[in-house]
């Protein structure tokens, strides 16, 4: 702890010097020598913040549309590395896609990182991995956001906003083709209806043959076909009243899973080799209505949202050539949420916000596990046997919250509090079908109730117009719940997890806004951390609680525009995590081990350059290259398996003429060898190998 405190002290001295000068006079640039250019002012669009990033006492990253397109960020997994201490592993399918921020995340059950898309909350990780379509910006807020956003924001929050309708009619066509027969095509049409109404219609499709080969039958194991439709409608009813409606639907049919048996001893994976074809199919529908009424000094906002997720997973549970287990899982989830906000006008001495939030979620799941020929022999079963489990899981909750901001010249004080209530029920039925005879093994009816108070306090001080510092303390919380794989009363449910997050940061902008830096240090005191482990018996996974953990680290972002048309950036995250108390039993103690799925370092650096020609053939050529680094990553509580540091080099070159863009792109250009996911089951370890080098071309036409 002493070394970390010294590091904090040294960092706070050194980092502001990246842009600090003895007087504001040095901020004057000789525009006769250097053409005057500047970085755009980044604004957090979330209606609960809606301020320039520089003015907020929070560690956040905002990625605009151009950055998303240029770096080929097409789903949330692609954000890994671009945001400090953000990690989302490739799971092998779109099912259960966990996000980790500062090492905080969960593989099963409710997520520890929140996700909102156009103000619609996504409560299920099974909905997190979707194809991006016409994204305008992505915001990643690190640290607990429970005061304003409540459940599932223990580690942070991701806000995604799609493009808004515009006054001029326009259409964009995009087609992408790459190796492994990757096809990605989309059409976006903006249609103004009159001076008060407009809409956007988007459609996209994605296909690839698969990146991994199953050596059992020499076929690709992870191909995908997905189709996405999106519509947004805006209506300015009057000068004060506006309505926004949006809806998105995605159908995906995915192969899976590219898992290989792995040796923890020599850290090597065997070839993918299993006999039963595995698939994951999902239908995902989300819709929302945002009604806003602006009075002279107060704004009222209502957000109503609904989401439906229906999926089916078929999986060779043992991932070997033997016919041991085959599992089929059907899931149907409905979620309804309603939020009301009343907010004062921003910019005064005193700003305030009051809000309420209601939600209800119905989740029905059926899991059928069939013992195949080798499984019947292995477990000495005399007749064909299928285990049938059904789960009826209902969650509901309500919250009241408030935030006040007091602006006293250079000093601003932010205080917030949220009262949260949640209730969860589980109706569970466990039957066995042996040669046509059904036996009832268990019937469970369980309930959980929880009240929690989530406070926050932050101080921000502007040393001058270009340099601001802040400190904050906030409580984070993630609700407890029920396991779907359990063998006794003890592991049927798991406790809520909570944390106290302490953070201090410095933001600066210099040289006519050509240099921007964002630096922070954090310390997290984490109680009852929710950990995923193999269920007793080796079949399936469940969530348990570690007694106490702590995370501490540093985050740095630098963006520099040295001359016109040239942009450079460097981001880095350092995360030191540890179990303080994690005793499983008298023989197993994981205390002082590193937390799993928490990369010690995340790094991203790159360059964008636009070469302007303005001739008959081309208007400009855009060059982009970036490097992402991750590691070291431990995969389990025992720290017996890990992924060492690795780096990915990506690049893109785009030629532009009028309304036409043609690009050539590549990812993992050095073909780095790494593992992207790890788990244990049936007494074995398994990994998913990281994707190899991928190359392709892209054509965009706007009219």
Cα 561 to its chain centre, rounded Å, is 28
- What was the pLDDT predicted at 522? 96
Cβ neighbours, 10 Å, residue 693: 14
User: What tokens were used for 91?
Assistant: 């799971």
Eight-class DSSP state of 547: S
36 pLDDT band (50/70/90 cuts)? low
Task: Give Cα 412 to chain centroid, integer Å.
Answer: 30
29-33, 180-184, 186-190, 218-222: segment of lowest average pLDDT: 29-33
Q: In the prediction, which pLDDT does 51 show? A: 82
CA distance 303 to 216: 50
- By CB atoms closer than 10 A (0-12, 13-18, 19+), residue 373 is exposed
d(CA 401, CA 455): 10
User: Is 88 or 19 the better-scoring residue by pLDDT?
Assistant: 88
- Burial of residue 105, with CB atoms counted within 10 A of its CB: 0-12 exposed, 13-18 middle, 19 or more buried: buried
More confident residue, 682 or 464: 464
Task: Provide the pLDDT confidence category of residue 489 given band limits of 50, 70 and 90.
Answer: low
Query: Is residue 678 a contact partner of residue 259, using CB atoms and an 8 Å limit?
Result: no
Which of 361, 367, 365, 342 lies closest to 352, judged by CA? 342
Residue 287 dihedral angles phi and psi, to the nearest 5°: -145, 150
Separation CA 534–CA 532 (nearest Å)? 7
| Least confident among 5-9, 195-199, 393-397 | 5-9
Tens of pLDDT along 147-158? 998 778 888 999
Which of the four pLDDT bands, split at 50, 70 and 90, describes residue 485? Answer: low
CA 683 to chain centroid, in Å, comes to: 30
Residue 427: CB atoms within 10 A of its CB come to 14
**pLDDT average, residue stretch 211-236:** 95
Residue 439 confidence class, pLDDT cut points 50, 70, 90: confident
- Residue 486: pLDDT band (50, 70, 90) is low
- pLDDT of residue 94 exceeding 60, the answer is yes
| Per-residue pLDDT band at 23 (split at 50, 70, 90) | very low
Check: CB of residue 102 under 8 Å from CB of residue 145. Answer: no
Better-predicted residue by pLDDT, 444 or 172: 172
| Res. 488: pLDDT tops 90 | no
Structure confidence at residue 328 as a pLDDT band (50, 70, 90): very high
Q: How far apart are CA 643 and CA 703, in angstroms?
A: 47
Q: How far apart are CA 177 and CA 695, in angstroms?
A: 9
Residue partners of 437: CB distance under 8 A and separation at least 6: none
Q: What confidence score (pLDDT) does residue 15 get? A: 41
**Do 44 and 38 touch, CB atoms closer than 8 A?**
no
End-to-end CA distance of the chain: 59
Q: Any residues with CB less than 8 A from the CB of 13 and at least 6 apart, and which?
A: none
The residue with greater pLDDT, 261 or 440, is: 261
Supply the pLDDT for residue 24: 42
3-state SS, 186-239, equals EEEEEEECCCCEEEEEEEEEEEECCCCEECCCCEECCCEEEEEEEEEEEECCCC
Model confidence pLDDT, tens digit, residues 642-688: 999 999 999 999 999 999 999 999 999 999 999 998 988 878 899 99
Q: How does DSSP assign 673-685, residue by residue? A: --EEEEEEETTEE
Nearest to 222 by CA among 276, 278, 284: 278
229 token code pair: 């439709």
Place of tokens 């899973």: 257
How many angstroms separate the CA atoms of 507 and 352, rounded? 24
Q: In whole angstroms, what is the distance from residue 4 CA to residue 9 CA? A: 9
Residue 71 host element (H or E): none
SS3 content of the chain, % helix, strand, coil (to 5): 5, 60, 35
Calculate the dihedral angle through the C-alpha atoms of 104, 64, 355, 302, rounding to the nearest 10 degrees.
-130
CA distance 7 to 556: 14
DSSP labels for 483-503?
A: -SS-SSSTTSEE--EEEEEEE
Task: State whether the Cα torsion 82-85-90-95 is positive or negative.
Answer: negative
CA distance 655 to 608: 14
Residue that has been written with the tokens 């406070």 in this structure: 455
Average of per-residue pLDDT across 430-443: 84
CA distance 190 to 193: 10
Least confident window among 43-47, 412-416, 456-460, 563-567: 43-47
**Residue length, the chain?**
703
pLDDT of 81: 80
Alpha-carbon Rg for the chain in angstroms: 26
* Pair type for strands 156-162 and 113-117: parallel
pLDDT value, residue 26: 39
535 falls in which pLDDT band (50, 70, 90)? Answer: low
Q: What is the DSSP string of 298-321?
A: EEEEEEEEEEEEEEEEEE-TT-SS
Helix and strand numbers (H, E) in the chain are 4, 45
**pLDDT per residue over 259-281, tens digit each?**
999 988 888 899 999 999 999 99
Average pLDDT over residues 696-700: 97
Least confident of 44-53, 106-115, 532-541: 532-541
* Cβ 176 vs Cβ 696: under 8 Å: yes
Residues paired with residue 116 on neighbouring β-strands, in sequence order: 121, 159
């Amino acid at each position: 702890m002493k070394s970390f405190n010294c590091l904090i002290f040294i960092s706070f001295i050194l980092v502001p010097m990246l842009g600090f000068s003895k007087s504001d006079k040095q901020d004057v640039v000789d525009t006769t020598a250097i053409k005057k250019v500047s970085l755009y002012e980044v604004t957090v669009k979330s209606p609960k913040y809606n301020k320039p990033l520089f003015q907020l006492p929070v560690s956040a990253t905002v990625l605009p549309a151009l950055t998303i397109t240029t770096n080929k960020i097409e789903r949330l997994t692609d954000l890994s590395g671009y945001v400090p201490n953000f990690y989302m592993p490739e799971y092998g399918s779109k099912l259960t896609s966990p996000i980790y921020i500062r090492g905080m995340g969960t593989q099963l059950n409710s997520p520890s990182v929140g996700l909102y898309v156009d103000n619609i909350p996504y409560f299920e990780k099974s909905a997190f991995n979707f194809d991006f379509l016409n994204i305008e910006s992505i915001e990643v807020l690190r640290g607990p956001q429970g005061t304003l956003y409540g459940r599932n924001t223990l580690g942070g929050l991701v806000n995604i906003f799609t493009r808004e309708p515009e006054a001029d009619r326009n259409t964009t066509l995009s087609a992408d083709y790459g190796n492994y027969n990757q096809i990605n095509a989309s059409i976006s049409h903006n249609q103004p209806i009159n001076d008060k109404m407009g809409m956007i219609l988007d459609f996209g499709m994605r296909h690839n043959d698969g990146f991994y080969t199953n050596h059992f039958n020499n076929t690709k194991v992870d191909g995908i076909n997905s189709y996405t439709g999106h519509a947004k409608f805006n209506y300015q009813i009057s000068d004060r009243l506006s309505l926004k409606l949006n809806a998105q639907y995605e159908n995906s049919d995915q192969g899976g899973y590219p898992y290989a048996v792995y040796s923890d001893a020599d850290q090597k994976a065997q070839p993918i080799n299993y006999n039963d074809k595995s698939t994951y199919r999902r239908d995902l529908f989300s819709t929302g209505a945002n009604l806003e009424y602006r009075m002279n000094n107060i704004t009222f906002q209502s957000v109503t949202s609904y989401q439906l997720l229906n999926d089916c997973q078929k999986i060779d549970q043992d991932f070997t050539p033997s016919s041991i287990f085959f599992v089929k899982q059907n899931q149907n989830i409905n979620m309804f949420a309603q939020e009301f906000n009343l907010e004062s006008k921003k910019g005064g001495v005193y700003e305030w916000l009051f809000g309420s939030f209601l939600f209800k979620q119905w989740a029905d799941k059926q899991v059928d596990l069939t013992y195949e020929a080798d499984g019947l022999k292995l477990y000495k079963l005399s007749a064909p046997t299928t285990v049938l489990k059904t789960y009826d899981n209902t969650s509901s909750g309500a919250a009241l919250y408030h935030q006040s901001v007091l602006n006293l010249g250079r000093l601003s004080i932010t205080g917030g509090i949220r009262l949260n209530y949640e209730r969860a029920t589980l109706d569970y039925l466990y039957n066995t079908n042996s040669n046509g005879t059904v036996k009832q093994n268990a019937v469970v009816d369980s309930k959980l109730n929880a009240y929690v108070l989530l406070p926050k306090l932050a101080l921000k001080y502007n040393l001058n117009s270009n340099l601001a510092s802040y400190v904050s303390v906030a409580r984070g919380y993630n609700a407890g719940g029920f396991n779907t794989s359990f063998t006794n009363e003890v592991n049927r449910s798991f406790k809520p997890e909570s944390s106290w997050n302490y953070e201090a940061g410095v933001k600066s902008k210099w040289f006519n806004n050509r240099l921007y830096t964002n630096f922070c240090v954090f310390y997290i005191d984490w109680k009852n951390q929710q950990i995923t482990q193999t269920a007793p018996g080796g079949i399936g996974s469940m969530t348990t609680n570690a007694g106490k953990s702590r995370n501490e680290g540093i985050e740095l972002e630098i963006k520099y525009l040295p001359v016109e048309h040239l942009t450079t950036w460097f981001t880095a995250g350092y995360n030191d995590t540890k179990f303080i108390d994690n005793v499983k039993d008298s023989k197993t103690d994981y205390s002082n081990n590193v937390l799993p799925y928490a990369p010690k370092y995340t790094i991203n650096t790159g360059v964008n350059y636009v070469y302007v020609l303005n001739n008959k053939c081309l208007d400009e050529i855009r060059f982009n290259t970036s490097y992402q680094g991750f590691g070291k990553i431990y995969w389990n509580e025992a720290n017996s398996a890990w992924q060492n540091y690795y780096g990915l080099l990506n690049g893109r070159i785009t030629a532009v003429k009028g309304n036409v863009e043609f690009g050539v792109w590549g990812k993992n250009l050095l073909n780095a060898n790494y593992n992207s996911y790890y788990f244990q089951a049936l007494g074995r370890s398994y990994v998913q190998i990281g994707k190899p080098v991928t190359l392709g071309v892209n054509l965009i036409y706007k009219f």
